[in-house]
């Protein structure tokens, strides 16, 4: 056990954004009774907490009881009203405006009645909060096309007006979603040279020199032996996981993993077990049990055990307790599949994701996966790891045989932005963005905590969920913030547990301090109107002061 | 009972309660009480073998997992082939490989949209407005006006009520199938469908009934079998959805599905049809609408059509189209739609332009058909190969007329033919499959894709090269086989080729 620890303490400029002069803060008690985060990594055998845990601050405040009751009542009321209205529709008193499935004689209905009930009576009321059409680049500001609904959410009409608002909804962490600048001009040249199409899979004459360049650059960026790239982030998981494990193997998956990981795991044919979100004690228990018990019924040993975790969880804003996962992996000889969709670029002193954030050696993670959609302002995903792994994937992965290779301009956008982040363009621009994002994150999170909102997640996670709880507040929050000039994302059931509906802000390096202040002002206005200051805990003790910005 | 309308969701429930006799109620209540008693009583657990901590430690110590990935050497034939044929620059009608410009008969660039100036201009214009990535899924500010426009244009073009756009061709059908077909449902599938369909089926966890490729009698016999079962269990039949999944133009065999018969069976046995038109969209039919137009069948008969923008349209992504009530369901249930970033807007713009060009220049389709037929006739004359596929299909599989019987060996022969042709400036590809994962084993073949812009001269030249390559390779193999075994001779041949390069 102690040997496993050794690796995590090496090169301890962890969270290297911090000024060395800044003293390490005492661990504060903002970890609440809900225990969503396990036992804060304690595992009895160690008297002293290792260093990373001292600076690992995550908060998940429990839902106040009254709020929980009221929220459930709210849903109950919606269901009752929905049933009454369905009855009225059936009598013909209320006109049915939804596009319902026509009854075809002899055919089994295509949809379940409950599912359509939810869509018809609940989702329809708040439909305008999602799928808002945009008429510009999803950069730091965006033009949302105004819509009106003459019939309360059944149909929408564009008014033709464009609302120029601040963007707190897109995953534009490093601000590379730009329609001009060095990346765009490099992409411009590539379109002229390569066109936009490939029309073939990599193994069937779809492998181009630009793909090779991208693969090599990604490997260098991640600090691994080799890497491969796929044109869709979702497909990177769902099409490559089946090449890694199969029947007779075990996948231990965090309960809050993304849909693509769940689908990918399901396609492998392996046994899937979930562990509590970021709960290392639970993970260890399940690992131990798995190795000792073997496969169900036959008790044969597992072929492989794969731990599937994400770097930053996009709905919770939490960061994986990676050093602990690595320790467990070594102890139980499992493999780690780390999905860095939201963390690559956005985390760590060099923007190399959570591995960089914790100061770990990239080779201690078996499979490093991530996407280009977020921090790089492009599309697609990668897998990095040992040469042996990548060779195997290149030969056996579905994505190299049956699906198209990446479009050249998309590849070029990644190459250009990645080179800037690595400082290969000879400027400090990449570092400036990384620092700015880290600063913005702490600044914004701290202010929100101070104001008494319930905020989930890690202090360094650029995904900031603010809890709204009640379904009516979801719609109101989204509409009111948009009206005041701020585009936010709200998420509810089924993406979150029924009562934990929330608003989510995604911070970006392009946000200036003025924008953040303005956003806070808007949140305050709307928050007071909706009475969102639910928190009863003292605000946590961290600040943005230690982060040095580059001008 | 007339007061409660039958269309209301709660109808069955309320009717059930009202019609139940009193002793039934008493029984149900007793049952509930019993369940609660069992639930709260001490559970009986047989003695389990409990391992001591030390034993556990030993077990953990002793367990040796398999390596994460099997050892694939750097000189694996697929890796070397990929590196060897790495394309420099554009992947268009001509490709540059190893500094040599080759006629491209390998990629699905049927309408030669790759590298068209008009498309590039539109894409560049979009780049100036939207940048490259959309930085979010469709739900969260990833819906750009070009996505909406492309969906509208495609729906209109396909004569459907609605279209839904996916950011990747593979994900389109693979997400669409599990959005409708769930556990317990039945899907009738042609044995020859592509890999994306197979993955969609796996994800749906439905019962799969395979019917022999394009064999409508077999399909009908399966349907009859099922309707007999349904009569025995009408309650289950009432909730079991049924689907037929077929491809318009089969990638794996280059032939067309018998759609009129499928539609007939649909109405006869009340099964819904999902069509996968990745290869037929922009290829078949007078205006390129695919297999429905080819057979002049109204798309209203088809429940869902899934197409890719990565073949004839030369962009990235895919879409599904059909009736609004069917398609809209995917906006909340299509995994690849909801949980993935949207298609880069500039690629959507490129597809809009490609669609416009297809509508403005219907002769592209005529040229493509003519070229396909020309190829077909000419390739038929090569005695060393059999041509598989429909004459009008731009996809043709070339298989050895006299296979050695060993698929591995045949594959190597074909790879040598590809090498040879490449040396003479014709780019070909063998079709690659992940054999253990496929439903049916696929025979080795060279898969030819026809481009509409190929001239008579280019067609003549490439067929000539193909013929010569086959002849030379097979000749070498037969002469060598007298003293060396064929396998070794192929390997030697390959080695010397690599060395000479």
CATH code of the domain containing B241: 3.40.640.10
Verify that A388 and A451 share a domain, yes or no.
Answer: no
Show which of B310, B342, B360 is a domain's final residue: B360
Tell me, yes or no, whether A43 lies in a domain: no
Determine contact, residues B343/B172, Cβ cutoff 8 Å: no
Q: Does B337 touch chain A (CB under 8 A)?
A: no
Show which of A421, A446, A462 is a domain's final residue: A421
Determine contact, residues A388/A363, Cβ cutoff 8 Å: no
Average pLDDT, chain B: 90
Q: Compute the distance between CA of residue A168 and CA of residue A464 in angstroms, rounded to an integer.
A: 10
Verify that B379 and B472 share a domain, yes or no.
Answer: yes
Please identify among residues 465-484 of chain B the ones whose CB lies closer than 8 Å to any CB of chain A: none
CB contact under 8 A, B128 and A87: no
Confidence category of residue A172, pLDDT binned at 50, 70, 90: very high
Return the residue matching tokens 């959609």: A373
Distance from CA of B479 to the nearest CA of A (A): 30
CB contact under 8 A, A367 and B68: yes
Predicted pLDDT of residue B488: 55
Query: Taking CB atoms and an 8 Å cutoff, what residues of chain B touch A166?
Result: none
Verify that A286 and A373 share a domain, yes or no.
Answer: yes
Tell me, yes or no, whether A404 lies in a domain: yes
Q: From the list A197, A393, A410, which residue is nearest B109 (CB)?
A: A197
Q: From the list B91, B167, B180, which residue is nearest A200 (CB)?
A: B91
Confidence category of residue B405, pLDDT binned at 50, 70, 90: confident
Tell me, yes or no, whether B216 lies in a domain: yes
Predicted pLDDT of residue B178: 94
Show which of B317, B344, B360 is a domain's final residue: B360
Confidence category of residue A16, pLDDT binned at 50, 70, 90: very low
Checking if the pLDDT of B495 tops 60, the result is no
Please identify among residues 11-30 of chain B the ones whose CB lies closer than 8 Å to any CB of chain A: none
Q: Compute the distance between CA of residue B410 and CA of residue B420 in angstroms, rounded to an integer.
A: 15
CB contact under 8 A, B119 and A196: yes
Please identify among residues 132-161 of chain B the ones whose CB lies closer than 8 Å to any CB of chain A: 132-136, 138-145, 148
Q: Compute the distance between CA of residue A111 and CA of residue A108 in angstroms, rounded to an integer.
A: 9
Verify that B260 and B381 share a domain, yes or no.
Answer: no
Verify that B271 and B162 share a domain, yes or no.
Answer: yes
Confidence category of residue A30, pLDDT binned at 50, 70, 90: very low
Checking if the pLDDT of A502 tops 50, the result is yes
Tell me, yes or no, whether A345 lies in a domain: yes
B77-84 and B407-423 are packed helices; what angle lies between their axes, rounded to 10 degrees? Answer: 10
Q: Which domain holds residue A147?
A: 64-178+428-551
Mean pLDDT over residues B214-223, rounded? Answer: 96
CB contact under 8 A, A407 and B76: no
Q: For residues A114 and B478, which has the higher predicted lDDT (pLDDT)?
A: B478
User: pLDDT tens digits for B93-152?
Assistant: 999 998 999 999 999 999 999 989 999 999 999 999 999 999 999 999 999 999 999 999
Q: Compute the distance between CA of residue B208 and CA of residue B187 in angstroms, rounded to an integer.
A: 5
Mean pLDDT over residues B194-220, rounded? Answer: 94
* Burial of B144 per CB tally in 10 Å (0-12, 13-18, 19+): buried
Verify that B296 and B190 share a domain, yes or no.
Answer: yes
* Residue A447 belongs to domain with CATH number: 3.90.1150.10
CB contact under 8 A, B335 and A398: no
Verify that B126 and B236 share a domain, yes or no.
Answer: yes
CB contact under 8 A, A177 and B135: yes
Determine contact, residues B428/B467, Cβ cutoff 8 Å: no
Distance from CA of A259 to the nearest CA of B (A): 7
Joined tokens for residue A182: 């060095």
Q: From the list B8, B144, B195, which residue is nearest A86 (CB)?
A: B8
Verify that A201 and A306 share a domain, yes or no.
Answer: yes
Verify that B356 and B367 share a domain, yes or no.
Answer: no
Tell me, yes or no, whether B308 lies in a domain: yes
Number of structural domains (chain B) is 3
Query: Taking CB atoms and an 8 Å cutoff, what residues of chain B touch A169?
Result: 136, 140-141
Mean pLDDT over residues A531-549, rounded? Answer: 89
Instruction: Considering only CA atoms, give the Rg of chain A.
Output: 24
Q: Does B74 touch chain A (CB under 8 A)?
A: yes
Query: Taking CB atoms and an 8 Å cutoff, what residues of chain A touch B340?
Result: 232-235, 260
Checking if the pLDDT of B6 tops 90, the result is no
Predicted pLDDT of residue A266: 92
CB contact under 8 A, A235 and B336: yes
Determine contact, residues A250/A304, Cβ cutoff 8 Å: yes
Confidence category of residue A519, pLDDT binned at 50, 70, 90: very high
Verify that A404 and A439 share a domain, yes or no.
Answer: no
Query: How many contacts does A have with B, using Cβ atoms within 8 A?
Result: 384
* Adjacency order of strands within the sheet including B385-388: B385-388, B395-400, B446-449
Among residues B93, B57, B66, B100, which one has the least CA distance to residue B501? B100
Checking if the pLDDT of A49 tops 70, the result is no
Query: Taking CB atoms and an 8 Å cutoff, what residues of chain B touch A193?
Result: 89-90
Tell me, yes or no, whether B64 lies in a domain: no
Tell me, yes or no, whether B43 lies in a domain: no
Verify that A437 and A416 share a domain, yes or no.
Answer: no
State whether ipTM is beyond 0.90. no
Flag the least confident range among A237-246, A420-429, B13-22, B469-478: B13-22
Determine contact, residues A22/A545, Cβ cutoff 8 Å: yes
Q: From the list B106, B133, B238, which residue is nearest A108 (CB)?
A: B238
Determine contact, residues B220/B201, Cβ cutoff 8 Å: no
Query: Taking CB atoms and an 8 Å cutoff, what residues of chain B touch A187?
Result: 127, 132
Verify that B376 and B452 share a domain, yes or no.
Answer: yes
Checking if the pLDDT of B397 tops 80, the result is yes
Average pLDDT, chain A: 87
Tell me, yes or no, whether A31 lies in a domain: no
Predicted pLDDT of residue B501: 43
Q: Compute the distance between CA of residue B161 and CA of residue B271 in angstroms, rounded to an integer.
A: 21
* Burial of B385 per CB tally in 10 Å (0-12, 13-18, 19+): buried
CB contact under 8 A, A402 and B68: no
Q: Compute the distance between CA of residue B183 and CA of residue B421 in angstroms, rounded to an integer.
A: 48
Checking if the pLDDT of A40 tops 50, the result is no
Return the residue matching tokens 């044969």: A300
Distance from CA of B475 to the nearest CA of A (A): 26
CB contact under 8 A, B310 and A487: no
Q: Does B297 touch chain A (CB under 8 A)?
A: no
Predicted pLDDT of residue B462: 94
Checking if the pLDDT of A24 tops 70, the result is no
Predicted pLDDT of residue A102: 80
Query: Taking CB atoms and an 8 Å cutoff, what residues of chain B touch A138?
Result: 130-131, 133-136, 141-142
Verify that B368 and B444 share a domain, yes or no.
Answer: yes
Tell me, yes or no, whether A460 lies in a domain: yes
Share of chain B above pLDDT 90, in %: 73
Return the residue matching tokens 């770990």: A360
* Residue A201 belongs to domain with CATH number: 3.40.640.10
Tell me, yes or no, whether B56 lies in a domain: no
> 3-state DSSP helix/strand/coil percent for chain B, to nearest 5?
50, 15, 35
Verify that A168 and A206 share a domain, yes or no.
Answer: no
Show which of A374, A406, A421 is a domain's final residue: A421
User: Is residue B225 within a helix (H) or strand (E), and if so which, with residue range?
Assistant: helix B216-232
CB contact under 8 A, A403 and B169: yes
Q: Compute the distance between CA of residue A118 and CA of residue B123 in angstroms, rounded to an integer.
A: 39
Share of chain A above pLDDT 70, in %: 90
Verify that A381 and A469 share a domain, yes or no.
Answer: no
Verify that B20 and B101 share a domain, yes or no.
Answer: no
Determine contact, residues A386/A336, Cβ cutoff 8 Å: no
Verify that B260 and B127 share a domain, yes or no.
Answer: yes
Show which of A381, A405, A421 is a domain's final residue: A421
Tell me, yes or no, whether B150 lies in a domain: yes
* Residue B384 belongs to domain with CATH number: 3.90.1150.10
**The three-state (H, E, C) secondary structure of B238-295, written as one string:** CCCCEEEEEECECCCCCCECCHHHHHHHHHHHCCEEEEECCCCCCCCCCCCCCHHHHC
Query: Taking CB atoms and an 8 Å cutoff, what residues of chain B touch A416?
Result: none
Predicted pLDDT of residue A275: 95
Among residues A177, A242, A255, which one has the least CA distance to residue A398? A242
Mean pLDDT over residues A459-477, rounded? Answer: 93
CB contact under 8 A, A388 and B72: yes
Query: Taking CB atoms and an 8 Å cutoff, what residues of chain B touch A136?
Result: 129-130
Verify that A389 and A437 share a domain, yes or no.
Answer: no
Return the residue matching tokens 């997640």: A457
Q: From the list A135, A171, A292, which residue is nearest B51 (CB)?
A: A292
Joined tokens for residue B282: 């922009």
Mean pLDDT over residues A148-159, rounded? Answer: 87
Q: Which domain holds residue B454?
A: 77-105+363-500
Determine contact, residues A87/B8, Cβ cutoff 8 Å: yes
Confidence category of residue A193, pLDDT binned at 50, 70, 90: very high
Q: Helices marked H in B100-144 — which ranges?
A: 117-130
Number of structural domains (chain A) is 2
CB contact under 8 A, A232 and B139: no
Distance from CA of B405 to the nearest CA of A (A): 24
Confidence category of residue B487, pLDDT binned at 50, 70, 90: low
Q: Compute the distance between CA of residue B496 and CA of residue B427 in angstroms, rounded to an integer.
A: 21
Instruction: Considering only CA atoms, give the Rg of chain B.
Output: 28
Mean pLDDT over residues A326-354, rounded? Answer: 94
Look at residue B341 and give its three-state secondary structure.
strand
Mean pLDDT over residues A98-108, rounded? Answer: 79
Verify that A384 and A453 share a domain, yes or no.
Answer: no
Query: Taking CB atoms and an 8 Å cutoff, what residues of chain A touch B171?
Result: 232, 234-235, 238
Predicted pLDDT of residue B56: 87
Predicted pLDDT of residue A182: 94
Tell me, yes or no, whether B271 lies in a domain: yes
CB contact under 8 A, B60 and A100: no
Verify that A350 and A288 share a domain, yes or no.
Answer: yes
Show which of B360, B392, B421 is a domain's final residue: B360
Distance from CA of B121 to the nearest CA of A (A): 9
Tell me, yes or no, whether A52 lies in a domain: no
Distance from CA of A30 to the nearest CA of B (A): 30
Tell me, yes or no, whether A116 lies in a domain: yes
**Contacts of B281 by beta carbon, 8 Å cutoff, 6+ apart:** B248, B288, B289, B290, B307, B308, B311, B312, B313
Q: Compute the distance between CA of residue B138 and CA of residue A1 in angstroms, rounded to an integer.
A: 45
Predicted pLDDT of residue B491: 55
Closest-approach residue (CA) in chain B for A194: B90
Verify that B318 and B186 share a domain, yes or no.
Answer: yes
Query: Taking CB atoms and an 8 Å cutoff, what residues of chain B touch A83?
Result: 9-10
Q: Fill in the DSSP letter of residue A61.
A: P
Tell me, yes or no, whether A187 lies in a domain: no
Please identify among residues 359-418 of chain B the ones whose CB lies closer than 8 Å to any CB of chain A: none
Checking if the pLDDT of B497 tops 80, the result is no
| Number of residues assigned to chain A | 551
User: pLDDT tens digits for A107-128?
Assistant: 888 887 777 888 888 888 888 9
Distance from CA of A375 to the nearest CA of B (A): 8
Verify that B101 and B187 share a domain, yes or no.
Answer: no
- β-pairing, A133-134 vs A58-59, is unpaired
Tell me, yes or no, whether B70 lies in a domain: no
Query: Taking CB atoms and an 8 Å cutoff, what residues of chain A touch B142?
Result: 134, 138, 170
Checking if the pLDDT of A20 tops 70, the result is no
CB contact under 8 A, B168 and A130: no
Query: Taking CB atoms and an 8 Å cutoff, what residues of chain B touch A113?
Result: 9
- Candidates B131, B234, B267: best to mutate against A (most CBs of A within 10 A) is B131
Checking if the pLDDT of B317 tops 60, the result is yes
Q: Compute the distance between CA of residue B491 and CA of residue B479 in angstroms, rounded to an integer.
A: 15
Determine contact, residues A404/B169, Cβ cutoff 8 Å: yes
**Contacts of B335 by beta carbon, 8 Å cutoff, 6+ apart:** A234, A259, A260, A263, B171, B175, B178, B179, B203
Look at residue B414 and give its three-state secondary structure.
helix
pTM metric for this prediction:
0.89
Q: From the list B7, B86, B315, which residue is nearest A90 (CB)?
A: B7
Verify that A152 and A241 share a domain, yes or no.
Answer: no
User: pLDDT tens digits for B25-62?
Assistant: 899 899 999 999 888 877 666 666 778 888 888 888 88
């Amino acid at each position: 056990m102690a040997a496993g620890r050794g690796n995590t303490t090496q090169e301890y400029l962890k969270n290297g954004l911090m000024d060395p002069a800044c003293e390490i803060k005492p661990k504060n008690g903002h970890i609440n009774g809900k225990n969503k985060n396990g036992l804060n990594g304690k595992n009895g055998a160690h008297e002293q907490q290792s260093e990373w845990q001292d600076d690992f601050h995550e908060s998940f405040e429990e839902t106040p009881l009254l709020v929980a009751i009221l929220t459930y009542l709210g849903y109950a009321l919606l269901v009752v009203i929905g049933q009454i209205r369905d009855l009225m529709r059936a009598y013909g008193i209320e006109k049915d405006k939804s596009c319902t499935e026509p009854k075809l004689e002899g055919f089994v209905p295509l949809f379940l009645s409950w599912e359509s009930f939810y869509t018809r009576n609940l989702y329809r009321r708040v439909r305008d909060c999602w799928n808002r059409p945009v008429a510009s680049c999803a950069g730091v500001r965006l033009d949302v096309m105004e819509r009106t609904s003459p019939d309360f959410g059944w149909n929408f009409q564009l008014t033709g007006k464009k609302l120029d608002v601040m963007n707190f909804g897109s995953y534009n962490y490093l601000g590379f979603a730009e329609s001009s600048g060095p990346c765009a001009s490099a992409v411009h040249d590539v379109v002229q040279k390569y066109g936009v199409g490939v029309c073939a899979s990599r193994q069937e004459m779809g492998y181009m020199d630009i793909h090779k360049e991208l693969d090599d650059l990604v490997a260098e960026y991640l600090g691994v032996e080799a890497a491969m790239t796929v044109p869709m982030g979702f497909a990177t998981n769902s099409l490559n996981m089946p090449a890694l494990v199969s029947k007779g193997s075990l996948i231990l998956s965090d309960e809050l993993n993304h849909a693509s990981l769940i689908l990918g795991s399901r396609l492998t044919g392996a046994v899937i077990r979930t562990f509590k979100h970021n709960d290392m004690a639970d993970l260890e228990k399940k690992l131990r049990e798995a190795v000792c018990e073997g496969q169900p019924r036959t008790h044969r040993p597992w072929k492989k055990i794969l731990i599937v975790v994400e770097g930053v969880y996009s709905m919770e804003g939490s960061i994986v307790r990676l050093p602990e996962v690595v320790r467990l992996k070594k102890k139980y000889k499992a493999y780690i599949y780390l999905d860095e969709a939201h963390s690559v670029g956005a985390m760590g002193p060099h923007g190399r994701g959570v591995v960089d954030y914790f100061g770990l050696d990239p080779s201690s993670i078996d499979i490093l996966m991530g996407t280009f959609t977020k921090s790089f302002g492009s599309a697609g995903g990668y897998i990095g790891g040992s040469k042996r792994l990548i060779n195997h994937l290149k030969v056996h992965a579905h994505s190299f045989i049956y699906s198209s290779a990446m479009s050249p301009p998309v590849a070029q956008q990644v190459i250009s932005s990645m080179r800037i982040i690595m400082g290969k363009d000879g400027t400090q621009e990449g570092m400036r963005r990384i620092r700015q994002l880290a600063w913005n994150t702490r600044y914004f999170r701290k202010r929100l905590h101070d104001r008494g909102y319930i905020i989930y997640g890690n202090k360094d996670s650029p995904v900031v969920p603010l809890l709204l709880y009640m379904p009516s507040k979801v719609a109101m929050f989204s509409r009111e913030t948009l009206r005041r000039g701020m585009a936010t994302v709200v998420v509810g059931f089924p993406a979150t547990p029924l009562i934990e509906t929330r608003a989510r802000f995604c911070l970006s390096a392009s946000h200036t301090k003025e924008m953040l202040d303005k956003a806070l002002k808007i949140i305050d206005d709307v928050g007071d109107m909706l009475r969102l200051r639910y928190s009863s805990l003292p605000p946590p003790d961290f600040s943005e002061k230690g982060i040095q910005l580059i001008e | 009972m007339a007061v409660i309308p039958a269309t209301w969701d709660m109808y069955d429930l309320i009717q059930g309660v009202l019609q139940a006799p009193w002793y039934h109620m008493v029984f149900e209540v007793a049952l509930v009480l019993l369940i609660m008693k069992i639930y709260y009583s001490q559970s009986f657990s047989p003695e389990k073998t409990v391992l001591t901590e030390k034993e556990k430690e030993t077990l953990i110590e002793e367990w040796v997992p398999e390596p994460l990935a099997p050892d694939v050497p750097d000189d694996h034939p697929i890796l070397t082939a990929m590196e060897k044929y790495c394309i420099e620059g554009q992947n268009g009608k001509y490709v540059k490989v190893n500094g040599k410009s080759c006629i491209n008969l390998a990629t699905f660039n049927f309408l030669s949209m790759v590298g068209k100036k008009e498309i590039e201009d539109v894409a560049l214009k979009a780049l100036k407005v939207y940048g490259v990535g959309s930085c979010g899924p469709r739900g969260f500010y990833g819906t750009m006006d070009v996505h909406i426009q492309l969906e509208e244009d495609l729906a209109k073009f396909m004569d459907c009520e609605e279209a839904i756009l996916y950011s990747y061709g593979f994900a389109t059908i693979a997400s669409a199938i599990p959005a409708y077909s769930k556990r317990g449902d039945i899907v009738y599938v042609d044995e020859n469908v592509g890999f994306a369909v197979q993955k969609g089926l796996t994800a749906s966890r439905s019962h799969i009934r395979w019917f022999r490729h394009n064999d409508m009698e077999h399909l009908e016999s399966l349907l009859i079998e099922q309707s007999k079962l349904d009569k025995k269990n009408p309650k289950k039949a009432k909730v079991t959805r049924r689907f037929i999944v077929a491809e318009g133009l089969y990638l794996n065999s280059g032939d067309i599905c018998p759609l009129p018969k499928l539609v007939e069976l649909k109405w006869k046995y009340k099964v819904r049809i999902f069509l996968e038109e990745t290869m037929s969209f922009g290829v078949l039919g007078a205006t390129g609408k695919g297999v429905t137009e080819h057979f002049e069948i109204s798309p209203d008969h088809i429940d869902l059509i899934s197409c890719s923008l990565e073949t004839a349209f030369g962009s990235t992504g895919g879409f599904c189209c059909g009736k609004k009530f069917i398609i809209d369901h995917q906006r909340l249930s299509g995994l690849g739609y909801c949980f993935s970033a949207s298609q880069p807007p500039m690629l959507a713009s490129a597809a809009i332009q490609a669609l416009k060009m297809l509508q403005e220049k219907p002769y592209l389709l005529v040229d493509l058909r003519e070229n396909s037929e020309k190829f077909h006739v000419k390739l038929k004359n090569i005695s060393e190969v059999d041509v598989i596929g429909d004459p009008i299909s731009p996809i043709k599989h070339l298989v050895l007329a006299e296979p050695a019987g060993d698929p591995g060996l045949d594959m190597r022969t074909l790879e040598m033919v590809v090498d040879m042709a490449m040396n003479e400036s014709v780019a070909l590809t063998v079709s690659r499959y992940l054999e253990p994962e496929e439903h049916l084993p696929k025979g080795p073949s060279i898969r030819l894709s026809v481009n509409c812009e190929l001239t008579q001269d280019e067609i003549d030249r490439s067929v000539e090269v193909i013929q010569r390559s086959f002849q030379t390779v097979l000749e070498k193999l037969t002469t060598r086989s007298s003293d060396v075994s064929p396998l070794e001779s192929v390997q030697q041949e390959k080695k010397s080729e690599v060395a000479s390069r």
